[in-house]
Amino acid sequence: MKFCNLKKGVLFILLVLSFSAGKAQAIRGFGNVTAYSVSNDFKKGAIVYIGGGAEFEFHPLFKPEVSLSYSLMGLNDQEFYDFDTNTLEKLSGDVYMLNFNVGPKIYFWYSGETFDSAACWYYIVPKINMSRIVANGNYQFIDYDDPQNNLIQKGHRADWQHSFGLTLGMEFPIFNSDAIALSVTVNKTNMGKTLNRLPYNNTDYGTLLAGAGISYYFGIKK
């Protein structure tokens, strides 16, 4: 079932990409960095997504986007002790995510006398997200009384998740079709669905909700 959903999602993105490339009046590429705040169960307080994509202009106010991003993160070690502060159990792990996004970029307001001469443009992008979450974890049990009972168990889990996101941004033209955009994004991705399937891992890793990012747009085709 998951493979069928993935196949349908990839075909949908390819269809959007091919249709947009053929019909678009102009095409711009872009690179993007977005950071999401996460719980204290991760080694760093923020998850950074690095990626890029393409924007296809059908109308100055309507420009669908297709993008791909990657993120790598580590999990805080969880250690459990006996009364002598000897480590009895230890959990450690890392996870990476590959994200595919597609959605219409809609400009709804601009600051300036005309759209072309505006100092900045405001836009909204509702998105369909497909995230490939891959997690690796290690569970270690230590028996100080009988080392023969020591246990090391490794786990590997991978899942596809489908979700919806929303981006609000301000785009500042630089020259020609190049621009810099600042944005905030809401994206509901439940990390625990994958991470809790690692060995002996029952931590509530929460859900990605809000992040802030910066993008650079550059012209490809007119």
Tell me the per-residue pLDDT of 153-204, one tens digit each, with 9 for 90 and over: 888 888 888 888 999 999 999 888 899 999 999 988 888 888 888 877 777 7
For the entire predicted model, the pTM comes to 0.78
Ranges of residues in the chain whose predicted pLDDT is under 50: 1-3, 6
pLDDT of residue 220: 78
pLDDT of residue 172: 92
CA atoms of 102 and 127, how far apart (whole Å): 6
| Coil, helix or strand at residue 115 | coil
| Coil, helix or strand at residue 192 | helix
Tokens of 7: 């196949």
Tokens of 100: 């595919």
Tokens of 134: 């891959």
CB atoms within 10 A of CB 75: 22
CA 103 to chain centre: 14
CA atoms of 89 and 49, how far apart (whole Å): 32
- How would you classify the pairing of strands 62-81 and 87-111? antiparallel
DSSP state at residue 18: H
H-helix or E-strand spanning residue 20: helix 2-23
pLDDT of residue 154: 86
CA atoms of 54 and 102, how far apart (whole Å): 10
Tokens of 205: 């890793």
pLDDT of residue 49: 93
